[in-house]
Structure 1
Amino acid sequence: MSHFLVAQSESPEEREARRRHAGKSSGETYAATLRQLVPDCSVDIAEPADEGATASRPADLKRYDAVFLSGSPLHVYQDTPAVRRQLEFMRTVFASGAPSFGSCAGLQVAVAAAGGSVRSMPQRMEAGLSRRITRTAEGQDHPLLSGRAPTWDAPAVHTDEVEQLPEGATLLAGNDVTRVQAAEIRHDRGIFWGVQYHPELSLREIAIALRRQASSLIEAGLADHEDDVEGRAALLDRLHQKPEARSLRWLLGVNGEFADEIGRRRELTNFIAALPSLDRR
């Protein structure tokens, strides 16, 4: 039986706010998705960024088959106690040799912990969909992206991005908005696969995120009015209910890579399938 650890970096207040709106914290969403993908797995959830959290040791993490880092509002370029604790946790993951995977802020945490840099996206953000993601030459045959179309769209909500990958990293995919959309990082004894988008989220959760961030979307120029945001969120809600609906796919300009759950989760599925072959040094 697979034994996974999910690390969430939301603050306690942010976790409670997400539960009120979406029913689960980011880490709880990740755990639910993993249980759907691997029904007989066991999943622990940790909050290493919390004040008073017990620091993990490499031996504590080495017993897991994999560690997953969820998205969160954490800005890893800010020198705060929560950020320092989260980065130290990720360095311990690398030191343990346990394979790891992260999305959105999870990718950014791994990048910063391994010596790369993350920045705010001035005058830009991706919200709802990350469009026209394309493999790099190094990503063409990488197992993380196995089965992906030549270009694809994915659920995304972020205002930060990877500025510079660390030494020992490989850029696997990007798009016109965010250069680093998928990457592999080899650091210390560990290997990490990550994406800037959200393969773990349902379309309903993306719709909820858009509604919660309506003012930010308007400020960024992605929408003129809250009604515009609501219209996009409503389409995502409808596609969540009827992913096969051609009319909804046409209105959103997406295909099965985005509309179908199996398409959205492809990177997670590929990572889990690759675990037996990943080096544990």
Structure 2
Amino acid sequence: MRFLVAESGTPEDRQYRRDDVGRSSGESYAATLRQMRPGSSVDIAKPSDADTPSWDAQDIARYDAVFITGSPLHVYESSPAVERQLAFMRAVFASGAPSFGSCAGLQVAVAAAGGKVRKMRSRLEAGLSRRIVATAEGRNHPLLAGRPAAWDAPALHTDEVEELPDGSVLLAGNGPTLVQAAEIRHDRGIFWGVQYHPELSLAEIAAALRREAGDLVEAGLARSTDDVQQQSELFDALHDDPDNASLRWRLGVDEELAVERRRRLELANFLDAVPDLDRRASAAGRAPKG
């Protein structure tokens, strides 16, 4: 299969993350996809960059699926980088290629299709999204197939979806974040997205916590940067030993978070569905085949 990963951040965002964990969000996504689908071809696009080649719907239609990464991008802040990112996402919808996004990737799709995104009004979610619950529609949706009644997922975000666009279905939410998973049908395209990060390792979450330690203390989620460091060390340890019952207990998580195969379930479900997703789904009002 041929996949396109779109970085949803700026060159500075990418370099900052490389300096921290060794690769950008798009490079992490590409590595995950290559691991999950050996033999697949994965290209990386950088639509927010001023000097990036333009992507039109015909270019994008050559791919089996498109993936939109997370980033520090705030889609409610008008800037050339944001406008280029939204234009790219509209081209994805126009192409009919199935698409998937996490965190800012969900927010980009929402804004491109006419919905609204805002800064979170309550506390941010950092490290984990707790007690995510599927809606009635989500319980029967293939994106969440195999999830239990409630689950935790890796997360770090300060923005949230305020209003889904027309042609959307809310699939899951939790206390801090109303929209944790959604389907969007717009133009000729169909998008499945989550506010959390099924593509990330626990070590990458640990690095993100350390990177944002000052902000977490300022937000009142930690008493000090030492607290953040201790929490990060637990994530690192669980990354190395996911079956460790003591570590799971200390973090208050189960296999849905600790085990890589379970953590990546939404991404795996999307990849399984791609061959049967109708590229005319929005216009025809069709669900995935089968």
TM range (shorter): over 0.9
Aligned equivalents of 2:172, 2:207: Cα separation in 1: 27
- Displacement after TM superposition at 1:154 (Å): 0.1
**Percent identity between the two aligned chains:** 67
Aligned equivalents of 1:9, 1:50: Cα separation in 2: 10
What per-residue deviation string (whole Å, max 9, x for no partner) do you get for residues 155-191 of structure 1? 0000000000000000000000000000000000000
Aligned 8 A contact 1:99 1:192 in 2:
yes
Matched AA of 1:174:
G
| TM-score of the two chains, using structure 1 as the length reference | 0.99
Aligned equivalents of 1:195, 1:153: Cα separation in 2: 12
Q: Please list every run of 5 or more consecutive structure 2 residues that lacks an aligned counterpart in the other structure.
A: 281-290
- Which residue pairs with 1:156 in the alignment? 155
- Displacement after TM superposition at 1:122 (Å): 3.1
Does 2:249 align with 1:267? no
Aligned equivalents of 1:222, 1:3: Cα separation in 2: 41
Matched AA of 2:72:
P
- Which residue pairs with 2:284 in the alignment? none
Aligned 8 A contact 2:128 2:156 in 1:
yes
Aligned equivalents of 1:221, 1:52: Cα separation in 2: 39
Aligned equivalents of 1:244, 1:277: Cα separation in 2: 35
* 2:137 counterpart SS class: coil
Aligned equivalents of 1:14, 1:79: Cα separation in 2: 17
Aligned 8 A contact 1:155 1:201 in 2:
yes
- Which residue pairs with 1:97 in the alignment? 96
Equivalent positions of 1:3-42 (< 5 A) are 3-42=2-41
Equivalent positions of 1:1-281 (< 5 A) are 2-281=1-280
- Displacement after TM superposition at 1:123 (Å): 4.3
What per-residue deviation string (whole Å, max 9, x for no partner) do you get for residues 5-45 of structure 1? 00002211221111111011000000000000000100000
Aligned equivalents of 2:189, 2:9: Cα separation in 1: 24
* 2:138 counterpart SS class: coil
Matched AA of 2:146:
G
Matched AA of 2:30:
A
Q: How many residues align?
A: 280
Aligned equivalents of 2:214, 2:111: Cα separation in 1: 29
Matched AA of 1:10:
G
Q: Please list every run of 5 or more consecutive structure 1 residues that lacks an aligned counterpart in the other structure.
A: none
> Once superposed, what is the RMSD of the aligned Cα atoms?
0.6
What per-residue deviation string (whole Å, max 9, x for no partner) do you get for residues 217-255 of structure 1? 011110011111011000000000000000000000000
* 1:138 counterpart SS class: helix
| TM-score of the two chains, using structure 2 as the length reference | 0.96
Aligned equivalents of 1:161, 1:17: Cα separation in 2: 23
* 1:76 counterpart SS class: coil
